[in-house]
Amino acid sequence: MLARPGAAALISAVATVSAGCAPAPPATASFSLEEATIADIGAAFDAGALSCAALVQLYLDRIAAYDDAGPRLNSIITVNSRALDRARQLDGERAAADARGPLHCIPVLLKDNIDTADMPTSNGSVILKDAIPPDDAHITRRLREAGALVLGKASLGEFAGGNSYNSVDGRTLNPYNLLRRASGSSSGSAVAVAANLAAVAVGTDTSTSIRGPASFSGIVGLRPTTGLISRDGIAPKNLTFDTAGPMTRTVTDAAILLSAIAGPDPADADGRNAEVYAAHPAGPAAAGLDYRQFLQRGSLQGARLGVARDYFGGDPEVDALAEMAIATLRDLGAEIVDPVTFDGSFVDGVRMIADYRFKADWEAYLATFGPEVPKTVARFLEIYETEVVQSALPVDAATLNLLQRAEATSTDHPDYVDLIENVLPTNTELKLALFETHGLDALIFPYHPSFAAPVRDPTFTADDPTYVGTNGVRSPSTLAGYSSVGFPSVVVPMGFGTQGLPMTIAFLARPYDEGKLVGYAYDYEQATMLRRPSPLAPPLPGETIEY
């Protein structure tokens, strides 16, 4: 009888060893920078195949090739000029057996409204392009203490506006189609992560500013309960709703990053952070909670997920991707409650009145800078209207409108008082009632009813006849934030349309249920693995290392 090929190979190997020949060399591992996770980088460090300095140089090379040249994605405003020096210091710590944890020498980008004492924090405004804060934001300090390397500052919509254009460096481009929008305002954070220009990034979200850009760039974005993360040292847009959050290529990396930046801070603005940790000292918002514990397959088993049907009906391709995601969730053991319908108009008009607080918050933030920085909304308006409006990168109308409204409003207005005392608490009750009425653990929906729209702004206008609009479908983006307590939400890649543009499925849960969301998102992600890197930023020579 002839031996099977596997048996023959085994017989040959035994004979070779018996003859005194050396055994075959052990199988090798490899590191690839493209799509590298925190764990991938850590394994290469541990094997001695990669140093922190070498890793940083690889990312700097990609920034030069794809952000500053090539497609010119324009996702990074400032690159840390001391990044390599810091990398060598972190290499020294590792050599001395003093690695600080999973984030040791993980290059992270911070949205450029998060204070860094060693780099400007522009908020996307040319008026602040050289403004260096007096100290780090709370989350910047936490990241540095965890060993993370701040690689630079990511671009954003000016004043954290809802697009990807600013007067410092123009528009950030979508990494899957340069003629389509990248969304805003954390556009640079999303695009840089999608194009593998950094390992992970931090964005901020007032209405949609983490999850929108994450969806248009096909990455994971997590908006936590408002106050779970300190806002100290983050330029305010609307502190009633503002929060920072992780923007990553995987749910695991989002959990690691969230664990590093979440925590109590007495310096957080308006006491929201203190309320969160006082209300849950040992519960879902406990100080020092490691969200990696929720990275469990089987997390969706028995979860009741309500399909928010009001947010379907834009682009048929987006709807088809969402239906496939729902089918997968059901296969993974989730109990699907379909439909869950409600009148989402309770969030309409909220933001306009909530922004009556902008002037006071913004001027309090400006007061932390030195005398070289203008200190009032009025002075910003004057510079914009007399100088910037005529420049090569003029201020956009949305920024001017924000500042003009801020000059004409205040928190003393009866409409603002009514919003805080009545409207937002009612909104919270209405959202919680959805969960209670249907016995839900989370709502699910396609994050945006259509793929990224064509670019249109003061310096760049594109058209794409293949674009399918929202067909009047309401965006679910403001559902998480516009209440007296912000609801956590995470978006996870659910695939690509025929034009090569990505979209995400969104999970929205009750306040302080970040752990549940991490588990659901991880279970879905691991079953599908639908994230794909940008074709406009392929690997460069030297990015794969065998070891």
Q: Where are the beta strands (DSSP E) in 408-462?
A: 442-446, 456-457, 460-461
375's CB contacts (< 8 A; 6+ apart) are 363, 366, 367
Helix/strand/coil for 349: coil
Q: Is 164 a catalytic residue?
A: no
Q: Tokens 């009633």, residue?
A: 240
CA distance 291 to 273: 18
Q: Is 516 a catalytic residue?
A: no
First to last CA, the chain: 41
Determine the number of helices (DSSP H) and then strands (DSSP E) in the chain: 17, 17
Among 183, 185, 477, 489, which one carries the catalytic annotation? Answer: 185
Q: Tokens 């639908």, residue?
A: 530
Q: Tokens 């005398």, residue?
A: 371
Q: What angle do CA 127, 132, 136 make, to 5 degrees?
A: 135
Among 51, 75, 111, 187, which one carries the catalytic annotation? Answer: 111
Which residue(s) pair with 335 in the sheet?
A: 304
Among 125, 164, 183, 209, which one carries the catalytic annotation? Answer: 209
11's CB contacts (< 8 A; 6+ apart) are 3
Closest by CA position to 199, among listed 414, 384, 31, 312: 31
Q: Is 209 a catalytic residue?
A: yes
DSSP conformation letters of 29-91: PEEESTT--HHHHHHHHHTTS--HHHHHHHHHHHIIIIISSTT----EEEE-TTHHHHHHHHH
CA distance 352 to 263: 30
* 369 C-beta neighbours (distance < 10 Å), count: 17
Taking the CA atoms of 502, 224, 109 and 95 in sequence, report the sign of the dihedral they define. Answer: negative
365's CB contacts (< 8 A; 6+ apart) are 235, 236
Question: Taking each helix axis from N to C terminus, what angle separates 514-528 and 316-331, rounded to the nearest 10 degrees?
Answer: 100
Which active-site residues does the annotation give?
111, 185, 209
